[in-house]
Structure 1
Amino acid sequence: MTIDSHQHFWFYNPERDSWITEDMQRIRRDFLPADLEPVLKQNGIDGCVAVQADQSEAETLFLLQLAEAYAFIRGVVGWVDLRAENLYDRLEFFSQFEELKGFRHVVQGESEDFMMRPEFIRGVRQLAAFDFTYDILIYPNQLKAALHLVRTVPEVPFIIDHLAKPYIKDRKIGTWSNYMAEIAKNPNVYCKVSGMVTEADWQNWKPDDFRPYLDVVFEHFGPDRAVFGSDWPVCLVAAEYDQMKSIVEDYLKPWGEDARQKVFGDNAIKFYNL
C-alpha cells in the first residue's frame, strides 16, 4: 500500500487562514477530499493522512468527519491544547475515534524554547497513555528544543514534519544537519520527507537543490524512519503533486524497491498504525 503521510483540507477563511499570504494566491480557496482523490489516483497513492492546519478542536472533528466519509483518508493528525489542565479528559474523549492517530501544534509560530516548557512537555507525555503520536512542526532555530523534547519523552513516537524546514533557498545546512543527526539517534523519532519545495526558490528550484538535505535525512534516519508526504495543497505554490513525488522517487532509485516501499507506505503504516 502506498501512503501520502501529510496533506491538508480546509474551507478557506481569510481571517483564520492568515498564514496563506498574498504570494500564495493559488491556495486561497477550498481544498477538500473530492479535490485530492483524483490526484492520488493519478499518482498511484492508495491513502493519506490528513493533518491539522488550524489550532482548534473543531479542526480535529472536521478532519475526523472527512475520514469517516472518505475511505482513502486512513488517518488524522489533529489538534488539542496540550497545555490544558483538562488534557487527560480531552485525550480520553478523542481516543474513541479510530482514525485519530496523533496530534500537532504549530510550534513554528511559537518561541524557540516553546517545546522545552514544562507544561508542554507534561502534555506531550500524556499522549503515551492513549498511544497517540506527535508531529513536530518547527523551523531549524527550534531544533535544540525538539532534541530536548524527544530525549525527555522517549515513550511517545515523534515525527518531524518537512525535514524541520531547512533553509534550502539559502543553501544553509550546517547547524540544521548537526541537530538532525542528534535527533535521529532517538529511535522514537521519524522524519517526513515532505514540504521541501516550499523552502526552496518557488519559481526556480531544481531537483538537485534537495539532494544535500535528503542525504542528511537518509544517512541518519535511514529508509526505515523516513516517510513520504506531499504537503498538498501547500506544495502547489511551488510544485505540482507529481513533481513533489518525483523528487523523492528519483532520489530513492539507487536504494532499490524495498526502500521505496518503506518510504512510500510501510513506514507511515507502522508509525501511524494505519
Structure 2
Amino acid sequence: MKIDAHQHFWQYNPVRDSWIDNSMSVLMRDFLPSELKEEMDNNGIDGCITVQADQSEEETNFLLQLAQSNSFIKGVVGWIDLRAANAEDRLAHFATNEKLKGLRHIVQAEPDEHFMLQNDFKRGISFLSKYRLTYDILIFPKHLGTALELVKQFPEQPFVIDHLAKPQIKEQVFSPWKEQIQALAKAPNVFCKVSGLVTEANWHNWKMEDIRPYLDIAFEAFGTDRLMFGSDWPVCKLAGNYTTTCVLMEEYLKDFSEVDKAKFWGINAAKFYTLN
C-alpha cells in the first residue's frame, strides 16, 4: 500500500488562514477529499494521513469527520492544547476515535525558540504514549537543537520530523542543519517525512539538482526504515503539483531496491502511525 503521510484539508477562511499571504493566492480556496482522491488515484497512492493546519479542537473534529466518511484517509494528526491543565482529559476524549494517530503543534510559529522544552508542553507530551499517539515536529532548522533535547527526554515516544525541518534549499545552506539532522537520526524513536521540499526551493525554477543533496543527507542519516513520503498537498501547489512531488521521489529512488522503495512509499508510514 502506498501512503501519502502528509497532506492537509481546509475550508478556506481568510481570517483563520492568514498565514496564506498574497504570494500564495493559489491556496486561497477550499481543498477537500474529492480533489485529493483524484490526485492520489492518478499517482497510484492508496491512502493518506491528513495533518492539522489550524490549532483548534474544531480542526481536529473536522479532520476526524472527513476520515470517517472517506476510507482512503487512513489517519489524522490533529491538535489539542498540550499545555492545558486538562490536556490528558482532552487526549482521552479524542483517543477514543481510532483514526486519530497523532498530534502536532505549529512550533515554527512560536516566538520562543525553546517552546518544546517548556514544562507544560513536555507534560502534555508525556501523556501521548499512554494513548498510543505519535507527535509530528514542525520546525525550522533553528529549532533542531531543541528538538534533539526533547526526543532525548522522551526515548519511548514516537516522533517524526516534518519536511526534513525545512532546510534552506533555495539558498543551498547545509550547516548546521546537516549535523543536527544527523544527530537527531541517532535517536531510534525519530522518523522523518520527505515532504515540503519543493516549497523550500525556488518555487518557480527549482531542479532535482537543488534538492538531491538534501535527500542524500536524509537518506544517509535515517536510512530507508525511518523515512516516509509526504506530498504536503495542497501547499505543494506553490511550487508544482501533486504529481511533481511524486515524480521527484520516483526519480530519486529509481536505483533503490524494490524493498526499500516499498518501505519509503508506505510500509514506514503504516508502521509509524499504526495503520490498519
TM-score scaled by length of structure 1: 0.99
Which amino acid in the other structure matches residue 66 of structure 2?
L
Shift of 1:247: 1.1
Shift of 1:11: 0.3
1:195-244 CA distance string (max 9 Å, x none) = 00110000010011111111111001000000000000000010111111
Q: Which residue of 2 aligns with 1:161?
A: 162
Query: What count of residue pairs does the alignment treat as equivalent?
Result: 274
1:67-100 CA distance string (max 9 Å, x none) = 0000000000000000010111111101110000
**SS of residue paired to 2:206:** coil
Shift of 1:150: 0.5
Residues 7 and 229 in structure 1, CA contact (< 8 A), matched pair in contact too: yes
Q: Which residue of 2 aligns with 1:81?
A: 81
Shift of 1:122: 1.4
Q: Which runs of 5+ in 2 are unaligned?
A: none
Shift of 1:119: 1.3
Structure 1 CA distance for aligned equivalents of residues 269 and 142 of structure 2: 26
Q: Which residue of 1 aligns with 2:210?
A: 209
> How is 1:48-197 mapped onto 2 (pairs within 5 angstroms)?
48-110=48-110, 111-197=112-198
- Aligned alpha-carbon RMSD (Å): 0.6
1:13-46 CA distance string (max 9 Å, x none) = 0000011110011111000001111110000000
Which amino acid in the other structure matches residue 234 of structure 2?
P
Q: Which residue of 2 aligns with 1:225?
A: 226
Which amino acid in the other structure matches residue 106 of structure 1?
I
Which amino acid in the other structure matches residue 11 of structure 1?
Q
TM-score scaled by length of structure 2: 0.98
Q: Which residue of 2 aligns with 1:31?
A: 31
Structure 2 CA distance for aligned equivalents of residues 253 and 40 of structure 1: 20
**SS of residue paired to 1:142:** helix
Shift of 1:3: 0.3
Q: Tell me which stretches of 4 or more aligned residues in structure 1 moved more than 2 Å.
A: none
- Percent of counterpart pairs with the same letter? 57
Which amino acid in the other structure matches residue 258 of structure 1?
V
Shift of 1:162: 0.3
Residues 50 and 77 in structure 1, CA contact (< 8 A), matched pair in contact too: yes
Shift of 1:256: 1.7
